[in-house]
Amino acid sequence: MAHQNSNEPLADLTQLGQTNGSGDKRALYLKLFSGEMFKGFQNNTIARDLVTKRTLKNGKSLQFIYTGRTTAEYHVPGRSILGNSDGAPPIAEKTITIDDLLISSAFVYELDETLAHYELRGEISKKIGYALAEKYDRLIFRAIAKGARQASPVAKTNFVEPGGTQVQVGTSTGATSDAWDATKLVNAFYDAAAALDEKGVSTEGRVGVLSPRQYYELIQQVGDNGLINRDEQGSARQKGNGIVEIAGIKIFKSMNIPFLGRAGVKYGETDGPADPGNTGSFVNPAVDSAISGTDDGVNNNYGSASDFNTSCGLIFQREAAGVVEAIGPQVQVTSGDVSVIYQGDVILGRMAMGADFLNPAACVELHATSTAGSAFGTTYPANIS
């Protein structure tokens, strides 16, 4: 075994992590990691800006208040005005609880950083951001699908508010092939828009989220029918925002919506997309860990795989769901004695959030086949891994 010679002169090392050549030699690594993680998170989540988001401090849950409609009545001369005789408007509440801390982490060995010919922490940080963003979106989208199956919490006699909407894509009884049919998807969007109008949902902030296969099918089949923004050309069409609107609904694509019991895609269905092969562990797995599983850290009901067997798209308005954040996306990195003992750092991305539906009337779930998904409760029976 070779021994170090304590009399040997030390080389003047350039500490790439120091600020102006002094201080903590890992200081710049932390800042670089933070920026990369946030960039990875923000570039891969779309749901955060499409629903109602609140920050929670000094509590475990947040209360949202529903106010129902009231009526107009004629005044009787000489009678005191002390509020409508029916006691309207009715009021109800919805509480969203924070799930346990959601984390994604990696241990970076200092020697590996030294030997690597690429910037190691930046690559790892982006993947941590991706992981948090993926979970974030999947929880919110499942909450919206849940809301589409619920009645309104405002249920006072003669003052029942509108609930959620489920729209079948096509007319097939048992085949799921309609889920990828561009014409039938467009028709479903118009049906959904009409339902939202009829239920008094604002036209501002209406969006739809489809799987990538559905989105690209729309671009190919209906791109010349006025649905594509003529100013969006080339690669802009492929980024997920190229189709401006159908019936006033702006369309996004995501691999994180519940889709026929999986997330974003399901291969092997009749007339559906063929498995392209070599899809790896995170695309169309036999059991999708993002849809089913058990996790003691979940305090809201996000459903299980079987609850989304026919779900194939979402249309909603900003009031459809709420996400409550106690800890927004953050970065933590070990340092000091811990780094010396282990000769490396644990890099951690974390957040604490919870999501659930708010206004069911603003939630629309698209489903293939004539079997729509059943409502599942607001208690905590089903977890998500």
Predicted pLDDT of residue 214? 93
* CA–CA distance, 153 with 125 (Å, rounded to integer): 41
pLDDT above 80: residue 87 = no
10 Å CB burial of residue 68 (0-12, 13-18, 19+) is: middle
Helix axes 182-198, 212-222, angle to 10 degrees: 100
* CA–CA distance, 39 with 144 (Å, rounded to integer): 25
Q: H-type helices in 200-346, by residue range?
A: 212-222, 336-342
Predicted pLDDT of residue 120? 75
Q: Which of the two residues, 306 and 210, has the higher pLDDT score?
A: 210
Instruction: Specify whether the CB–CB gap between 238 and 252 falls below 8 A.
Output: no
pLDDT tens profile 152-181 = 888 888 888 899 999 999 999 888 999 999
Structure tokens at 340: 């010396």
Predicted pLDDT of residue 195? 97
Instruction: Specify whether the CB–CB gap between 219 and 243 falls below 8 A.
Output: yes
Predicted pLDDT of residue 224? 52
Distance (Å) of CA 58 to CA 61, 160, 295, 300, 325: 9, 34, 24, 19, 12
Instruction: Specify whether the CB–CB gap between 45 and 133 falls below 8 A.
Output: yes
C-alpha count within 13 angstroms, C-beta hemisphere, residue 237: 17
Instruction: Specify whether the CB–CB gap between 213 and 265 falls below 8 A.
Output: yes
pLDDT above 80: residue 108 = yes
* Residue 29 pLDDT grade (very low, low, confident, very high; cuts 50, 70, 90): low
Q: Which of the two residues, 234 and 199, has the higher pLDDT score?
A: 199
Predicted pLDDT of residue 289? 46
pLDDT above 70: residue 16 = no
Reference 143, options 217, 247, 53, 16; nearest CA is 53
Q: State the maximum Cα–Cα separation within the chain, in Å, rounded to a whole number.
A: 106
In what helix (H) or strand (E) does residue 90 lie, and over which residues does it extend?
none
* Residue 71 pLDDT grade (very low, low, confident, very high; cuts 50, 70, 90): confident
Return the residue matching tokens 């079948």: 168
Structure tokens at 275: 């498995």
Predicted pLDDT of residue 228? 58
pTM (predicted TM-score)? 0.82
pLDDT tens profile 274-331 = 888 888 888 876 444 444 445 567 888 888 888 999 999 999 999 999 999 998 888 8
Q: Which of the two residues, 40 and 230, has the higher pLDDT score?
A: 40
* Residue 385 pLDDT grade (very low, low, confident, very high; cuts 50, 70, 90): very low
pLDDT tens profile 344-357 = 888 888 999 999 99
> What structural domains and CATH numbers belong to the chain?
27-66+91-275+288-367 (3.90.1690)
* CA–CA distance, 211 with 138 (Å, rounded to integer): 13
Phi-psi region of 320 (alpha: psi -120 to 50; beta: other; left: phi over 0): alpha
- Mean pLDDT, the chain, rounded, equals 81
Predicted pLDDT of residue 144? 96
Separation of CA 187 from chain center = 25
